[in-house]
């Protein structure tokens, strides 16, 4: 068995572990994005139902939507 062959299995295992971790991270990001979308929707609903929307809601929505309130 050559030195190259000795390195292939550990390298393959490490790559598979990285890919699996990347997949887990992508799934978690999708979960967080869905929660963020629900939070934005809830804040927008609260804002529409308030007689005088609080500036904090406007600021929070802008931050969540990454808008420049400049």
70 pLDDT above the threshold of 60: no
Rounded Cα distance between 50 and 53, Å, is: 5
Specify the number of domains making up the chain. Answer: 1
CA distances from 9 to 20, 26, 29, 43, 69 (A): 16, 26, 30, 51, 53
Q: What is the pLDDT of residues 55-69, one digit of tens each?
A: 888 888 888 888 654
- Give the tens place of pLDDT for each residue, 9-33: 999 999 999 999 999 999 999 999 9
30 lies in some domain: yes
Containing structural domain, residue 46: 3-64
* 20 within a domain of the structure (yes/no): yes
Average pLDDT over every residue of 28-49: 90
* pLDDT higher than threshold 80 for residue 48: yes
Entry pTM: 0.62
In a domain? residue 46: yes
- Give a yes or no: residue 69 inside a domain: no
Does a structural domain hold residue 70? Answer: no
């Amino acid at each position: 068995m050559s030195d190259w062959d000795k390195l292939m299995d550990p390298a393959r295992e490490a790559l598979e572990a990285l890919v699996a971790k990347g997949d887990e991270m992508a799934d978690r990001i999708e979960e967080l994005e869905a929660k963020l979308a629900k939070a934005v929707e809830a804040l927008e609903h609260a804002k529409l139902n308030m007689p005088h929307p609080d500036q904090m809601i406007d600021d929070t929505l802008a931050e969540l939507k990454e808008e420049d309130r400049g």
